């Protein structure tokens, strides 16, 4: 599996590259009030308004630092209703990929509760321990409702009459 690597503080994380649409530089985000603190804001991406989740804030409670290598990882997120939506994930030091076979993923059973179900298996590498992010478990049902409502990017879906 080819994975995109990034940091949250000093810890290394990985995201399956098949889920990545594009990695873009950090852009100016419009902060939206009444949103959770881990939502860095919104911006226009390919004629759609998309939310950007700050992975540093979500995982460790502190916003991403403004490094030159801080990037927004654009991903296709499939909701519980199977609709496809594009969202941004802001992370630090997004500069490398790693190719490892799935057999090297180690299930560490770190899930403390359902709110951290996105923290997946670990990979051992010369860089150290790398934890996989499970994109499909990143947002709870309620988070999907207020972050992704009305943002269906699936061009095959039709609007009701």
The arithmetic mean of pLDDT across residues 95-122, rounded, is 76
Q: 155 pLDDT exceeds 50?
A: no
Token pair 């940091």 is found at: 7
Token pair 């095959």 is found at: 156
The arithmetic mean of pLDDT across residues 8-19, rounded, is 92
Output the average pLDDT for the chain: 83
What is the pTM for the complete model shown?
A: 0.83
Contacts of 97 (CB under 8 A, 6+ apart): 2, 3, 4, 5, 17
pLDDT tens sequence across 30-87: 988 888 889 999 999 999 999 999 999 988 999 999 899 999 999 988 877 777 888 9
Question: Cα–Cα distance between 81 and 116 in angstroms, integer?
Answer: 21
């Amino acid at each position: 599996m080819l994975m995109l690597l990034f940091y949250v503080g000093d810890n290394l994380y990985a995201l399956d590259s098949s889920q990545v649409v594009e990695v873009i530089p950090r852009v100016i985000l419009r902060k939206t009030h009444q949103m959770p603190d881990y939502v860095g804001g919104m911006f226009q991406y390919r004629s759609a308004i998309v939310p950007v989740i700050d992975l540093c804030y979500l995982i460790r409670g502190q916003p991403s630092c403004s490094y030159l290598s801080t990037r927004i990882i654009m991903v296709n997120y499939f909701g519980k209703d199977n609709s496809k939506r594009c969202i941004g994930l802001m992370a630090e030091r997004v500069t490398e990929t790693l190719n490892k076979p799935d057999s090297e993923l180690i299930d560490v059973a770190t899930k403390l509760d359902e709110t951290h179900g996105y923290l997946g298996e670990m990979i051992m590498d010369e860089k150290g321990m790398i934890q996989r992010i499970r994109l499909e478990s990143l947002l709870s049902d309620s988070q999907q409702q207020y972050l992704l409502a009305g943002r269906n990017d699936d061009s095959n879906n039709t609007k009701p009459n």
